[in-house]
Amino acid sequence: MQAPLRIHIVTIFPGMLEGFIGGSMLKRAARMGLVEFGLVNPRDFTSDPHRTTDDRPYGGGPGMVMKPAPLFDAVKSVADEEARVILMSPQGRPFTQTDARRLAEERHLVFISGHYEGVDERVRIGLADEEISIGDYVLTNGALAAAVVVDAVVRLVPGVLGCEGSAQDESFSHGMLEYPQYTRPAEYMGMKVPEVLLSGDHGEVGRWRAEQARARTMARRPDLMNGEVVSGGNG
C-alpha cells in the first residue's frame, strides 16, 4: 500500500477546518489511510501572554500583518524534506486542475493560511515554495482558500473517489467543461432526457458527450478552447 499523502494546514482558526476535514470525502480518505491531515495553530508558537500572531506594518498603513516567527516555527514543527510549503495568497499564481493533479502526486503538503492584511514578506521569501490564489478576490482568512485547494487535490489521490473515471471525465480534466448529466426520471416537468442517452449505444453516447462538452465550452469558456489557463471549477 502506498504511503498516505500528508497535509498540514497552518491557520490561527483551526476550528474552522475541523468539520471540513472530518466529513465526507476527506474523512473517508483519512479512514482509508490514503491521506493524513493535521492542523497547526501559529498561536501555539508565540511567547507572549496574548499569543499574538500579528503586528502593525512598518511604514504605516491600515490593518495588521502576520508576524514571521510564529509562522516559521509552526511550519518547521511539521515540515520535513518531502514537504512542499504553499502560501495561500491573492497575489499567487491562479490555481488550476493541472496544479491539483501535480500536488496530488506530492508526499507532504503544508499550507500557510494568511489573515489580516497578509503575511510578513519574509514568509514568502524564506518559507514558501510557491504561492497559490483561488481567484481574483480577497478573503478574510486564507484557511478558506486552503480548504478549496485541499479538496481539489485529495479527490485526485488514487483510491479516494473509488471510481477513477469520475475524475477523468469532469470539467477541466481535458481542457473543456463537462458535458450535461441526467438521471432518473427520463422526463421531469416536461423536460426530457436526450434520446441518445437512453439508446444504449455507447459509441453514440460518447460522440454526443464530446459534442456537448465542446459546445458548452465554446459558449461559456471560449478561453479554454484557446489554450488559456483554467482557473477554477467544482466538477
CA distance to 138, 183, 221, per residue, from 215 (Å): 32, 21, 10
Nearest to 67 by CA among 93, 47, 83, 91: 47
Q: How far apart are the first and last CA of the chain?
A: 28
Residue ranges per structural domain of the chain: 5-154, 170-225
Q: pLDDT per residue over 169-207, tens digit each?
A: 555 556 789 999 999 999 999 999 999 999 999 999 999
What CATH fold (topology level) applies to the domain 5-154? Alpha/beta knot (3.40.1280)
Average pLDDT, the chain: 91
pLDDT band at 127 (very low <50, low <70, confident <90, very high): very high
Please give the average per-residue pLDDT across 105-132, as a whole number.
95
Answer for the pair 170, 178: CB distance below 8 angstroms, yes or no.
yes
Cell readout for 18 is 475541523
Please state, in angstroms and rounded to a whole number, the distance separating the CA atoms of residues 179 and 217: 9
| Alpha carbon distance 183, 33 (integer Å) | 32
Print the SS3 string covering 74-95.
HHHCCCCCCEEEEEEEEEEEEC
| Domains 5-154 and 170-225 fall in the same CATH topology | no
Q: Do 98 and 231 meet the contact criterion of CB atoms below 8 Å apart?
A: no
Res 234: pLDDT: 42
Q: What is the CATH number of domain 170-225?
A: 1.10.1270.20
Q: Are 67 and 120 in contact (CB under 8 A)?
A: yes
Integer Cα distance of 111 and 99 in angstroms:
14
